């Protein structure tokens, strides 16, 4: 037996590890199980190139919980360690054995990619939860002697020969008093499922029952699927396999994804994964089934906020990259160059896939559009690169249910909807029921109306206006149609200016002043006598404010502004003007204004009751 001192600068590094190495103590299990998996993979590699002889045998990794002894054992049948190796790899903190291994073998085989650790600190994460750690190990090397190492968290350690028959390593954690939560079977089961669900070597978990000896414990709870779908080639997988994997990832979700994207990159970085498009529907709500990030099949995190662009976090699935650093902080990830490249690449892939589906099967794409449009619009708004690609397949839906790309749409309405100043006007509706009469009038003129009914449409419209040349978007009820798309100079008004000034105060007396501005327009005789419109600019600002657009709060505090447009060419307006009985004149004005209100769904409560009563009187 010998003792030694762990080679570190500080006298006692363990408190520091405990505090700062990982914010999450539960990570210890991930680290130790990945070490066991690494050791197993190394043995496979060495066997495949002939450096390790003999039968590999059953190479599972076992996790054994012993509540009575307050230990967790992580047992592998991997390469094991000699006494010298323990001194070197375990006691020389920050000296990464895995790194050395990769350097040594990187030219000989590609399998070294499958080695998880790069940092040389994973083992010590055990001290976040353990007051003592033992290692019992037998190296694969011929004639190697089994060793026992133990350390109680101080820099002193003990190392001696021991008895161990089979190759591999046991890591025995003696759980500290303040970490006894990790002696709960469910907790360990949960952690293993979270971090090890797709590790490449079989992981089994068992709990020692009372009276059982350590070597009698049944370890038969299989934790993982060692070859998850994303590690396979797309050509090996059928649609059904992708769906099955989705269920494996999110067992609590019953909806099926719309489609998937299989990522497979090896240059300029390594990345595999499968992304799924869920049905996103109208609102961008916090998603529970998030993208999971893996590093060589080890779960890293599902808060990918800083790793993939925001809009991609609406997707689901798995991203696996050895180039995403495992153990570092979020702010570091954000500035990490490879993370940035990865994120740009995924953005491109997603756009390519959408374009591919669009080109291959337009009908299918259109049928899914309502479910993905928020995602696409959000992407177009937030990533310039995505906009460039998406403008080819982003669709506009017309009120008649037809879809057109931006280019097709411009072609479709160019002739009819160009006004006298050569500007193209895109009409849209945000609520086909409420704006029904305006939509009908637009249709009568041969105009098309786009349906924009998702919450981010207000922002999307602004963006399109900036991108598309010479084009404005105007909601159908922003003004009377012939003012929105002005084809010619105003027709002469039948009412003179003096007559208008006479009538104006009477009309104003009929509606609440703070909400309605009365304006006279010389429209066609066929148009309604009075029409209520919502001026585009103010309404848009209010919509944006409701969406939480920056600096828009001011508009949100204003009341809804309407224009009460009086059609100065309508015979009924002339009739009202010429009515000598002032009571009758007021009654007719009120009735006409109420009709305009009614068609906008603005007539409610007492006003509506009075309107009905008055109507009956007028019919009499
Ligand atoms: P890393 O995994 O990043 O190299 P660790 O602190 O997790 O850092 O482990 C240090 C080294 O100890 C490993 O590289 C490996 O050489 C050795 N080691 C740890 N656990 C085992 C194990 N179960 N079997 C064999 N070697 C191990
Ligand atoms: Mg490690």
For residue 43 and ligand 1, the question of a CB distance below 6 A is answered with no
For residue 127 and ligand 1, the question of a CB distance below 6 A is answered with no
What is the 3 state secondary structure string of 402-415?
CEEEHHHHHHHHHC
**What confidence score (pLDDT) does residue 101 get?**
54
Q: Are strands 449-451 and 424-429 parallel, antiparallel or unpaired?
A: parallel
Residues paired with 520 in a beta bridge: 566
Whose C-alpha lies nearest to ligand 1, atom 12? 89
**pLDDT exceeds cutoff 70 at 327:** no
Q: Which tokens sit at 68? A: 């009575």
Distance CA 284, CA 379 (A): 13
**What confidence score (pLDDT) does residue 209 get?**
87
**Of 123, 127, 136, 166, which is best to mutate to test ligand 1, by the most ligand atoms within 8 angstroms of its C-beta?**
123
Whose C-alpha lies nearest to ligand 1, atom 20? 35
State the burial class of residue 448 (Cβ atoms within 10 Å of its Cβ: 0-12, 13-18, 19+).
Answer: buried
What is the percentage of the chain residues whose pLDDT exceeds 90?
56
For residue 126 and ligand 1, the question of a CB distance below 6 A is answered with no
pLDDT in tens, 289-319: 789 989 889 888 887 776 778 888 888 999 9
**What confidence score (pLDDT) does residue 215 get?**
75
**pLDDT exceeds cutoff 60 at 19:** no
User: With bands split at pLDDT 50, 70 and 90, how would you rate the model's confidence at 10?
Assistant: very low
**What confidence score (pLDDT) does residue 331 get?**
52
For residue 120 and ligand 1, the question of a CB distance below 6 A is answered with yes
Q: Which of 89-98, 419-428, 491-500 has the highest mean pLDDT?
A: 419-428
Whose C-alpha lies nearest to ligand 1, atom 18? 35
The closest-lying atom of ligand 1 relative to the alpha carbon of residue 99 is 4
**Of 22, 60, 98, which is best to mutate to test ligand 1, by the most ligand atoms within 8 angstroms of its C-beta?**
98
**pLDDT exceeds cutoff 70 at 99:** no
Averaged pLDDT for residues 239-244: 96
Average pLDDT, the chain: 86
**pLDDT exceeds cutoff 50 at 94:** no
Question: How far, in Å, are 65, 172, 299 from residue 187 at the CA level?
Answer: 11, 18, 16
**Residues in Cβ contact with 465 at an 8 Å cutoff, skipping those fewer than 6 apart:** 471, 472, 473
pLDDT in tens, 57-81: 889 999 999 999 999 999 999 999 9
Closest CA to 256 of 234, 278, 239, 240: 278
pLDDT in tens, 526-568: 889 999 999 988 888 887 777 766 566 777 777 788 999 999 9
CA 39 to ligand 2 center in whole angstroms = 10
**pLDDT exceeds cutoff 70 at 475:** yes
**pLDDT exceeds cutoff 70 at 482:** yes
CA 33 to ligand 2 center in whole angstroms = 8
**Of 85, 97, 168, 170, which is best to mutate to test ligand 1, by the most ligand atoms within 8 angstroms of its C-beta?**
97
Averaged pLDDT for residues 31-55: 91
DSSP-assigned letters across all residues of 409-467: HHHHHHTTTB-TTS-EEEEEES-TTTTHHHHHHHHHTT--EEE--STTHHHHHHHHHHH
CA 97 to ligand 1 center in whole angstroms = 6
Range in 32-36, 265-269, 397-401, 456-460 with the lowest mean pLDDT: 265-269
Averaged pLDDT for residues 227-240: 95
User: With bands split at pLDDT 50, 70 and 90, how would you rate the model's confidence at 112?
Assistant: very low
**What confidence score (pLDDT) does residue 109 get?**
52
Closest CA to 520 of 576, 470, 454, 472: 576
For residue 146 and ligand 1, the question of a CB distance below 6 A is answered with no
**What confidence score (pLDDT) does residue 55 get?**
82
Let me know if domain 395-484 sits in CATH 3.90.470.20.
no
> Token pair 């099949």 is at which residue?
297
For residue 89 and ligand 1, the question of a CB distance below 6 A is answered with yes
Averaged pLDDT for residues 395-410: 96
**What confidence score (pLDDT) does residue 449 get?**
97
Range in 44-53, 279-288, 304-313, 390-399 with the lowest mean pLDDT: 279-288
Averaged pLDDT for residues 18-28: 69
Let me know if domain 497-534+558-619 sits in CATH 1.20.120.790.
yes
Could you tell me how many helices (H) and strands (E) the chain has, helices first? 20, 22
The closest-lying atom of ligand 1 relative to the alpha carbon of residue 74 is 23
Alpha-helical (H) ranges within 93-184 are 97-105
**What confidence score (pLDDT) does residue 343 get?**
81
CA 183 to ligand 2 center in whole angstroms = 22
Averaged pLDDT for residues 262-286: 78
Question: How far, in Å, are 303, 345, 449, 451 from residue 426 at the CA level?
Answer: 40, 34, 7, 11
Phi, psi for 241 (deg, rounded to 5): -65, -35
Write down the pTM of the prediction.
Answer: 0.78
The closest-lying atom of ligand 1 relative to the alpha carbon of residue 100 is 14
Ligand nearest to the CA of 41: 1
**Residues in Cβ contact with 113 at an 8 Å cutoff, skipping those fewer than 6 apart:** 270, 296, 322
337-360 and 362-382 helices cross at what angle (nearest 10)? 150
> Token pair 């037809």 is at which residue?
402
Distance CA 604, CA 614 (A): 15
What is the percentage of the chain residues whose pLDDT exceeds 70?
87
User: What dihedral angle (degrees, nearest 10) is formed by the CA atoms of 254, 257, 261, 263?
Assistant: -20
Range in 323-337, 421-435, 461-475 with the lowest mean pLDDT: 323-337
CA 336 to ligand 1 center in whole angstroms = 25
CA 34 to ligand 1 center in whole angstroms = 9
User: With bands split at pLDDT 50, 70 and 90, how would you rate the model's confidence at 116?
Assistant: very low
The closest-lying atom of ligand 1 relative to the alpha carbon of residue 121 is 6
**Of 21, 117, 157, which is best to mutate to test ligand 1, by the most ligand atoms within 8 angstroms of its C-beta?**
117
Annotated domain spans of the chain: 2-222, 229-365, 395-484, 497-534+558-619
More confident residue, 228 or 22: 228
User: With bands split at pLDDT 50, 70 and 90, how would you rate the model's confidence at 281?
Assistant: low
Arch. (CATH architecture) of 229-365: 2-Layer Sandwich (3.30)
Q: What is the CATH number of domain 2-222?
A: 3.30.565.10
């Amino acid at each position: 037996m010998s003792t030694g001192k762990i080679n570190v600068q500080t006298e006692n590094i363990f408190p520091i590890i405990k505090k700062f190495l990982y914010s999450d103590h539960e990570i210890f299990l991930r680290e130790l199980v990945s070490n066991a998996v690494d050791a197993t993979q190394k043995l496979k590699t060495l066997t495949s190139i002939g450096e390790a002889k003999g039968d590999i045998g059953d190479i599972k990794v076992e996790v054994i919980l012993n509540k009575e002894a307050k230990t967790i054992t992580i047992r592998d049948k991997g390469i094991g360690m000699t006494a010298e190796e323990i001194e070197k790899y375990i006691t020389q903190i920050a000296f990464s054995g895995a790194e050395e291994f990769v350097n040594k073998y990187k030219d000989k085989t590609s399998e070294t990619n499958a080695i998880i650790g790069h940092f040389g600190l994973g083992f010590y994460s055990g001290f976040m939860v353990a007051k003592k750690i033992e290692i019992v190990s037998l190296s694969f090397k011929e004639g190697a002697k089994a060793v026992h190492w133990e350390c109680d968290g101080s820099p002193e350690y003990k190392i001696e020969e021991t008895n161990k028959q089979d190759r591999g390593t046991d890591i025995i954690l003696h759980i500290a008093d303040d970490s006894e939560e990790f002696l709960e079977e469910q907790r360990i089961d949960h952690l293993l499922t979270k971090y090890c669900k797709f590790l490449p070597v079989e992981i089994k978990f068992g709990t020692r029952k009372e009276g059982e000896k350590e070597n009698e414990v049944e370890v038969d709870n299989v934790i993982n699927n060692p070859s998850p779908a994303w590690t396979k080639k797309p050509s090996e997988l059928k649609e059904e396999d992708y769906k099955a994997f989705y269920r494996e990832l999110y067992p609590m979700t019953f909806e099926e994804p719309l489609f998937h994207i299989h990522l497979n990159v090896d240059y300029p970085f390594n990345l595999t994964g499968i992304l799924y498009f869920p049905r996103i529907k109208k609102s961008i709500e916090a998603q529970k089934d998030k993208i999971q990030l893996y590093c060589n099949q080890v779960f890293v995190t599902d808060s990918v906020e800083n790793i993939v662009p925001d809009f991609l976090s609406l997707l689901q699935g798995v991203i696996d990259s050895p180039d995403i650093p495992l153990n570092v902080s979020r702010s570091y990830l954000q500035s990490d160059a490879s993370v940035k490249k990865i994120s740009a690449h995924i953005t491109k892939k997603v756009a390519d896939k959408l374009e591919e589906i669009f080109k291959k099967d337009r009908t299918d794409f259109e049928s899914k559009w309502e479910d993905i449009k928020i995602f696409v619009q959000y992407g177009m708004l937030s990533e310039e690169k995505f906009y460039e690609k998406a403008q080819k397949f982003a669709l506009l839906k017309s009120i008649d249910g037809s879809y057109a790309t931006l280019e097709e749409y411009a072609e479709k309405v160019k002739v009819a909807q160009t006004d006298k100043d050569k500007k193209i006007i895109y009409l849209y509706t945000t609520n086909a029921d409420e704006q029904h009469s305006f939509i009908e009038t637009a249709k009568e003129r041969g105009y098309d109306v786009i349906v924009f009914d998702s919450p981010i449409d207000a922002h999307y419209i602004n963006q399109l206006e900036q991108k598309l040349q010479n084009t404005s978007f105007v909601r159908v009820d922003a003004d009377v149609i012939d003012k929105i798309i002005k084809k010619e100079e105003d027709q002469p008004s039948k009412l003179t200016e003096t007559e208008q000034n006479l009538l104006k105060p009477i009309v104003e007396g009929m509606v609440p002043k703070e909400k309605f501005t009365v304006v006279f327009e010389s429209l066609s005789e066929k148009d309604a006598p009075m029409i209520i419109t919502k001026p585009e600019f103010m309404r848009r600002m209010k919509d944006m404010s409701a969406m939480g657009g920056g600096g828009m709060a001011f508009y949100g505090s204003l009341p809804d502004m309407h224009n009460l447009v009086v059609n100065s060419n309508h015979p009924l307006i002339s009739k009202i003007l010429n009515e000598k009985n002032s009571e009758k004149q007021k009654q007719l004005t009120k009735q006409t204004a109420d009709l305009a209100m009614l068609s906008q769904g603005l007539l409610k409560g007492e006003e509506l009751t009075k309107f009905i009563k008055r109507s009956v009187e007028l019919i009499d």
